[in-house]
Structure 1
């Protein structure tokens, strides 16, 4: 025998098929262990029946449900669930209070009631009477139902009308004669003069002294007026006016007649209200209110101030519905005393008045 053969080789030198040692990790396939089959004769385990929950009817809301612990499922036992508590759908009193406040606010700001206010600029001179003077500026304003849009109609101060309880005269004298005879009655007399001649209901009035007008504008830091064209010595475009300049602008009659004066007054009012929307002006509001309290008088109830302010701001942003009694609505006329006045053409004026105030 060949002594050089190892234990894994055949005599002819080939590798033995029976003595091959399979080492761990070798690529030679390991022999598979034959499967062990269980006998079908062996007893099979009994199938587990599913545990079904038992539903308990919920307890009516009128009774307080009994608190019962949830039982853990055990083989052969049923799971008992606690009936859920029913929610109380009744609204708390606070909810209805909030809803009531919202409804009142909606009615307050959008109430279907027309509010007509007469704005008077009083040519007051220092005297014993705090409000004795003619109403040289007269603007009739109205806030229609629902829509917070302010309409304005400027009335010429020289309009020749019948003054109630007096005689025919300029409409701006109604305030003067009432204050002359009974101090404090000027606003009511001016409202009655407009009502008697225009055939409308004037609810309230606001009057401001021209002398106080200067102080109010100065306290506000001036007002910027954007002019569509050059007028009253001012250039077209933005012009920042202090108190005296603003008063000269709204009362100027040298560069135009009373009709131009009415337009300038409306333009200044719109510009002043826009200034209120400027946050940089807000710190000045307390000083403005302090000056205004001494120079403005009104019978407008305080509960209407928020609605009026809202309508003014809304109109300043969207644009005022501004109108004047133009030249076609009046006829220049000279009285027997030589006064130059304007006779109203009611047939032409009435359609505009009805459109705005009725």
Structure 2
């Protein structure tokens, strides 16, 4: 794995300059994407550049089809490595501004699976309080896994790799890449996309609540009633962090916001806002996804958004609880879990074809 860190660059451009840059970037992004498509369509590279997309270019596609046997470019089979499901661990880090990223609590842990062959996707969330074993015999909440790895290895990559190992060894969850996201900073990304539209079910509503963002910025009262709501970046993060009713409900709120963001990615305002959002994300996102794969994976994610299924290790299986609260010898409140139920949920989330 390698680390790609997006850091803010100083600048003094005003609003007009930013809009001009955004407009130019949008045009450039679309032009570059078209170049990717046309070039890749005439080679075997298309599935690698744009997984899950079958592009037909007039003239080029016909010429390829008429090539003699042995020279013809065939589409990869469903079981080809280009068509294997892509599994991305998403870690939402909750930290104070004066805290090091290496000491952050990853209170949001989920695995996004995207299938290029079937255009289906799943999100599997892991409740942060699930009690797991780290390495040779240490135990703790799963949200402490990242911190243990990051502080031991000295990098965000080391923390993500530790979490991937612990998810695999405790739950059988696999991941190919990771995305580490500063939750508070993510508000800027959502703002750049023009906010997010969510349809809040009755069980996830939030009555009037004083959200202080840990008394750092803009404390205010917020509420999230049932029905369709347009949330600002600040509101989306507040909604995602609320857990006074249940940490399991908080997981569902996060899934709701994630699904809405993916669906907005295919909307016109999402396309226009994407370059600005990418700029806003430079200081709050770390990933090991190779730069050459990012455009294709992003397009695939937007394509499967409408078919996205959500799962949680907090879900019941055939009416049987998967997790339940217990108190450790040190007095900590954590979640114990049923291994058989976890295996069923992990298998269901991985079954995209």
Same fold (TM over 0.5): yes
Distance across 1 between alignment mates of 2:175 and 2:226: 36
CA drift of 1:296 comes to: 0.8
1:114 to 78, 81, 85: 85
* 1:166-245 map, 5 Å: 167-184=138-155, 185-229=158-202, 231-232=205-206, 233-245=223-235
- Give the 3 Å change call, closer, same or farther, for CA 262–307 of structure 1 in structure 2: same
1:321 aligns with 2:309: yes
CA contact (8 A) 1:120 1:138 kept: yes
CA contact (8 A) 2:322 2:341 kept: yes
* 1:1-358 map, 5 Å: 95-96=63-64, 103=74, 111-127=82-98, 129-144=100-115, 146-165=117-136, 167-184=138-155, 185-229=158-202, 231-232=205-206, 233-254=223-244, 256-317=245-306, 319-325=307-313, 326=315, 328-357=321-350
Whose radius of gyration is greater, 1 or 2?
Answer: 1
| Structure possessing the higher relative contact order (Cα contacts under 8 Å, 6 or more residues apart) | 2
Q: Deviations over 1:82-108 (max 9, x none)?
A: xxxxxxxxx99x934998897568989
Larger % of helix: which?
A: 2
Unaligned runs of 5+ in 2: 1-58, 207-222
Give the TM-score, by structure 1 length: 0.67
Tell me the SS of whatever aligns to 1:158.
coil
Q: Deviations over 1:102-136 (max 9, x none)?
A: 75689899933132211110113334734430110
CA contact (8 A) 2:66 2:72 kept: yes
- Give the 3 Å change call, closer, same or farther, for CA 283–143 of structure 1 in structure 2: closer
Distance across 1 between alignment mates of 2:103 and 2:292: 28
Distance across 1 between alignment mates of 2:272 and 2:309: 30
CA drift of 1:200 comes to: 3.8
CA drift of 1:307 comes to: 4.0
Give the TM-score, by structure 2 length: 0.68
CA drift of 1:173 comes to: 0.3
- Give the 3 Å change call, closer, same or farther, for CA 299–104 of structure 1 in structure 2: farther
CA contact (8 A) 2:200 2:228 kept: yes
CA drift of 1:257 comes to: 0.3
CA contact (8 A) 2:312 2:345 kept: no
Tell me the SS of whatever aligns to 1:272.
helix
Q: Deviations over 1:247-274 (max 9, x none)?
A: 11001012x2011111111110111122
CA drift of 1:337 comes to: 0.7
Distance across 2 between alignment mates of 1:180 and 1:134: 12
- Give the 3 Å change call, closer, same or farther, for CA 281–141 of structure 1 in structure 2: closer
> May I ask how many residue pairs the two structures share in their alignment?
266
